[in-house]
Amino acid sequence: LEDYLGEAKWYMDAFLDRMPGGTEVIGGVTKWVIGCNWKFAAEQFCSDMYHAPFSHASPTIAALPDGVPPEFAKWPDKGVQFRAHKGGHGTGFFTGPDKFIPVEEREDRLLLGLIGPEAGRYYARESRESTRERLGDQRADKLNGAHMT
C-alpha cells in the first residue's frame, strides 16, 4: 500500500492518522457515475478548491456552533495543490489555522458539518496534541479542508 500511495501517504496521514489508533472506515462503498469526459473527474477530485466557498457556504454557516457569527464562515483563501510523481494521486488543501480563531480554540467547520460536532471537535481540537507528537506541526495545524484522489 505504501508503494502504491507513494508521496501521497504523507498527506493522507494528516487526516487518516490523526488518532493513535488510526481511522476506521465503516460502511459500504459509495459509487457514482458522472456523464462527462474522464478528465473532468480527475481534475475536480484532485485540484478543485475554488468551488468550495461558493458551493458550500450555506452548510458551512449552518454548521457553525451557537454564538459564532456568520462572518466566521469565511473560507480560507490560501492553499496548496499537490500531485504525486507516480500513481496519479493528488490533493488540494487549505493552509494555516483559521485566521479568525486561535488554533487552540479552532473547530474545523467542515468536519463539524460532515461528521457531527462531537466527532468533529475531537478530530480537530482534542486530538491535535497527539497528532503534533506523531506527525509534526505542519500536518497537525496547517492542513485543513482537503480533498484527494
Residue 89's CATH number: 3.90.380.10
Q: What are phi and psi of 17, to 5 degrees?
A: -115, 30
Tens-place pLDDT, residues 116-134: 667 777 777 777 788 889 8
Domain count, the chain: 1
Instruction: Say what the pLDDT of residue 100 is.
Output: 44
pLDDT at site 137: 84
The mean per-residue pLDDT over the stretch 79-85 comes to 77
Specify the higher pLDDT residue, 49 or 58: 58
Q: Note down the domain range covering 102.
A: 2-20+40-148
**Contact, 93 vs 146, CB < 8 A?**
yes
Q: Report if residue 100 sits inside a domain.
A: yes
Q: Is 80 exceeded by the pLDDT of residue 73?
A: no
Q: Is 26 within a domain?
A: no
Whether 25 maps to a domain, the answer reads no
Count of CB atoms situated within 10 Å of the CB of 53: 14
Partners of 144 in the β-ladder: 94
Q: What mean pLDDT is predicted for residues 77-100?
A: 70
Average pLDDT over residues 133-142: 83
Residue 27 lies in a domain: no
Q: Which range in 33-37, 94-98, 133-137 is most confidently predicted, on average pLDDT?
A: 133-137
Per-residue model confidence (pLDDT) at position 24: 82
